[in-house]
Structure 1
Amino acid sequence: MPGSDIIIHGPDGDFSAYKTGEGPVLIVLQEIFGVNAVMRELCDDYAAQGFTAICPDLFWRIEPGIQITDKTDEDWKKAFDLFGKFDVDAGIRDVAATIAQMRAEGADKVGAVGYCLGGQLAYLTACRTDADACVGFYGVNIQTRLGEAAAIKHPLMLHIAGKDEYVPPQAQGEIMDALSKHGLVTIHHYAERDHAFARPGGAHYHAEDAELANGRSLNFLNQNLK
């Protein structure tokens, strides 16, 4: 099924989202490059695995329709500028609105999977929404929001890169110490991997561990959403 852009009606305004596939809904939470080709291809991959994949444009308040890459210095500069301006709390309101709209349209199960910035958002989605299951890949700044973990009511899986340049060892330790005791949280640690090791074509892509992490995520999502 070819994907298309839809409109999500959020509490602060309407915004677009890329939607594709059929089955339980999976909200795909973007990196700092917007709803770009990488995120759309991820959605297509999840659709091929039997999900309705939806990637909302969470940068819409700053600039709608961002689709940049990790291939040029100019794009990296813009990506970090967007990251600096991004309001995480507003973003989670948008995620919650996307979940609510999908449920209103008949979805029984709704989960989320996020990467980088989206990894933090996946964690917060587990903390603040009724999502049935969430997965976060190399989420940044989770250690600053560990006080919210008590609110997690549904399963959460986190993938942590041991040599993540944006999540230093101390932060990783804080995350694992705090969340490993939570009965609904599963953590996988990839000691030799750097940030974005699961992004095909990325500077730190590692095919073997990407396949391992993706397989673990898919099994987890199938168990909890299907």
Structure 2
Amino acid sequence: MMTELTAADGHRLGAYVAGPEDAKRALVIVQEIFGVNSHMRRVSDSFAAEGYRVICPALFDRVERGVELGYEPADVKRGRDLRAGVSEGAALLDILAAAGALPAGVKRGIVGYCWGGTVAWHGATRSSAFAAAVGWYGGGIAAAKEEVARCPVQLHFGEKDASIPMTDVQAIRAAQPDVEVYVYPEAGHGFGCEQRGSYVEADANRAQERTLRFFAKHLG
């Protein structure tokens, strides 16, 4: 279901919520550049089915409310334009608002995809709200690779990702030796999205299994 959050600066935004209200573990799920669309709701529901209380904030509400895009070239362009209107600081406020809406007294994690993968990294390095963080193909992580994570982090990249060169991944590994970094040789950008041509089912399943084990370990 959809709910409304209020960030620390007074901004109101929508969020998709799923999973048991009395869950022992909770997650903030961070969108790609396509909004809280059917794919992000499916991702949220998949974690909810594992027993997590999850919330997926609509970061684009800062620019335009209710955005749900597909994956055609025009959607990619529009998504990039919308993302440009949301500052890193604003996105951080919104994920913190989402974290605050999760059940009190439980450990909270954060997982993000594409743009959301970078936002999840910022959540780990620029706040103390999370006990674990996972990023899938976050293109902006390399630019912030020297930041210090305040919780355990796991990252996933596709070796054939045209937008994230392996030199960036190598730089992240060198700067963050304590971060778990996985590279999937046959995967490109967005390999975890079943609606994209770049979807690689075997790698998506493997990355999801690793993500679930990581959260089970660090969120208890």
TM tier, smaller? over 0.9
Asked if the contact 1:29–1:112 (Cα under 8 Å) also holds between the matched residues in 2, the reply is: yes
Q: Percent identity?
A: 33
2:171 corresponds to 1:174: yes
Structure 1 unaligned segments of length 5 or more: list them: none
**1:49-88 deviations in whole A, cap 9, x for unaligned?**
1101110011111111111111x33222211211222212
Query: Please, what TM-score do these two structures have when normalized by structure 1?
Result: 0.90
Give the superposition deviation at 1:25: 1.3
Give the superposition deviation at 1:107: 4.1
2:136 corresponds to 1:137: yes
Asked if the contact 1:112–1:133 (Cα under 8 Å) also holds between the matched residues in 2, the reply is: yes
Indicate the residue corresponding to 1:99 in structure 2. Answer: 99
Q: Which of 192, 202, 208 is matched with 1:208 structurally? A: 202
**1:157-207 deviations in whole A, cap 9, x for unaligned?**
00011111111222122112111x23xx21111123100111113111111
Matched residue type, 2:14 = S
Matched residue type, 2:115 = L
CA distance in 2, matches of 1:33, 1:135: 19
Indicate the residue corresponding to 2:18 in structure 1. Answer: 20
Asked if the contact 1:25–1:107 (Cα under 8 Å) also holds between the matched residues in 2, the reply is: no
Structure 2 unaligned segments of length 5 or more: list them: none
Matched residue type, 1:29 = V
Q: Report SS of the residue matched to 1:147.
A: coil
Coordinate RMSD, CA, aligned: 1.3
Structure 1: which 4+ aligned runs deviate by more than 3 Å?
A: none
2:219 corresponds to 1:225: yes
Query: Please, what TM-score do these two structures have when normalized by structure 2?
Result: 0.93
Matched residue type, 1:77 = K
